[in-house]
Amino acid sequence: MSARLNLVILGKQGAGKGTQCKRLSEHYAIPHVSTGDILRAAVKSGSDLGREVASIMDAGALVSDELVIRLVDERFKQPDAQRGALLDGFPRTLAQAEALEALLGDDGIKLCINLEVATSLVTERLSSRRVCQECGAIYKDTDIEAISGTCSNCGGDVIQRKDDQPEAIEKRLALYERDTAPLLDFYATRGLLVTIDGDQSPDDVTRAIELAVHERGLA
């Protein structure tokens, strides 16, 4: 690739963004960058910025757009992101998308992939999801790891997160429609939006994304 391959992956919670980002990260040799990972890494680093993030999170407050942008800026400066990155969970709002556009300039977002999945399906996926507290591995409630409560990757505790319970799911999806869905028009008007049917096998979704990237001459 002659230029950075910066891709935004959009979709409702439970649409499969994390699964696809992991696959695409390996295929294109670019990092999967999620807001949650950036925040956790900043806190763990103990840097001035990390301590600022920690104090906000410890107080139970939301990290501001301005601070998230600073963290994203730092992440893009790291060596593994020089070929590009897969952005998952960011931008979440129009303000963040506009700030990201200003930050990246000419080497900005090359494509926005929207994983389209019905609300009823993502609700079902989320309510049956179980997550390892240590490594973040994801399981279904029928998997042996979920039943036993022990991760087969690292031995960590496998739990149902509070935000994967019915009331929380409803609130999260409502926030998505209010704050993040408008990004579809934002990227569509720039000719960067490609919508993929997320109600396919993971392999078929991956192939559809790779085809979209190839058809744009990006890789």
Catalytic site positions = 17, 92, 129, 161, 172
The CA distances from residue 153 to 9, 112, 121, 130, 158, in Å, are 26, 31, 27, 14, 11
The answer to whether 184 and 10 have CB atoms below 8 angstroms apart is yes
Strand pairing of 193-197 and 111-116?
A: parallel
Q: CA nearest 7: which of 28, 15, 71?
A: 28
Q: Are 115 and 18 in contact (CB under 8 A)?
A: no
* Spatial CA neighbour of 82 closest among 192, 24, 6: 6
DSSP run (H or E) holding 26: helix 17-28
